[in-house]
Amino acid sequence: MTMSLLRAENLTKTYRVGDIDVPAIKGVDFAIEPASFVAFVGPSGSGKSTLLNMIGCLDHPTSGTLRVLDVDIATLDRRAAARFRGEHIGFVFQDFNLIPVLTVFENIEYPLRMVQKWPTEKRRAQVLRLLDAVGMADQANKRPDQISGGQKQRVAVARALVSQPKLVLADEPTANLDHDTAYRILELMKKMRDDFETTFVFSTHDPKIMGAAEVTFTLEDGRLQDGGHHV
């Protein structure tokens, strides 16, 4: 039996706003297998980003259990959570989050230099591999303000994968892309999943991602509406 990459059991998250407790996630259960292409979908305010923050070890559950790579994230303190993220999780954001003063090469290299601390030649070989994989080898020396939105997202995908994580979290990654570019980025992500056996988990209300996902979980008002729809 294959171990789930992610497993949540009766997972809740409540925020304290003044004197009021505001529930964001309300007792959800799900499991996600390795090398999956999964979307959490629902309207704004449904809890998608909160759930991704917990999966990404950026926030702790209020109650229930969330295991990522068989680690209960509630047991990780701030330092351990940061180390776990750096070793096992990549992130892709809707606004790309590239560092403007760094080149394309340096943006992709950044996690290996600052978090993983790979030696120089090993870093270089890995960055060149990813640049080639995302079709950006000829743009390596340009800065983010010199490339298009679609190219920026390709760089962001390469950066997310450069440390060979088992899991990539993508929060509305197509929101700032035009229709055709969004489809090309999704096809690139699926190819990266196939090539690197990385699980991609999306938070989105974009129909293009819903159509591309192999499994979708629908969130509404902090609750899952079904057990996961498999395409």
CA angle 42–48–52, rounded 5-degree value: 150
What's the half-sphere exposure (Cβ side, CA atoms, 13 Å) at 82? Answer: 5
Taking alpha carbons only, the member of 37, 81, 77 closest to residue 55 is 81
Q: What is the pLDDT of residue 175?
A: 86
What's the half-sphere exposure (Cβ side, CA atoms, 13 Å) at 22? Answer: 11
Q: Which domain holds residue 58?
A: 6-230
Cα distance between residue 153 and residue 143, in whole Å: 13
pTM: 0.90
CA torsion, ordered 87, 81, 185, 101, to nearest 10 deg: -80
Cα distance between residue 124 and residue 121, in whole Å: 5
Mark out the alpha helices in the chain (DSSP H runs): 48-55, 78-88, 104-110, 120-133, 149-161, 179-196, 207-212
Domain membership of residue 154 (yes or no) is yes
Which positions of the chain have pLDDT values less than 50? 1
> In total, how many domains does the chain have?
1
Domain membership of residue 35 (yes or no) is yes
Alpha-carbon distance values, 63 to 79, 103, 131, 157 (Å)? 21, 42, 41, 32
pLDDT in tens, 98-116: 999 999 999 999 999 887 7
Domain membership of residue 75 (yes or no) is yes
Taking alpha carbons only, the member of 34, 26, 23, 31 closest to residue 10 is 26
Whose tokens are 């997202």? That residue is 153
Domain membership of residue 1 (yes or no) is no
Cβ atoms of 64 and 27 within 8 Å: the answer is yes
CATH number for position 178 = 3.40.50.300
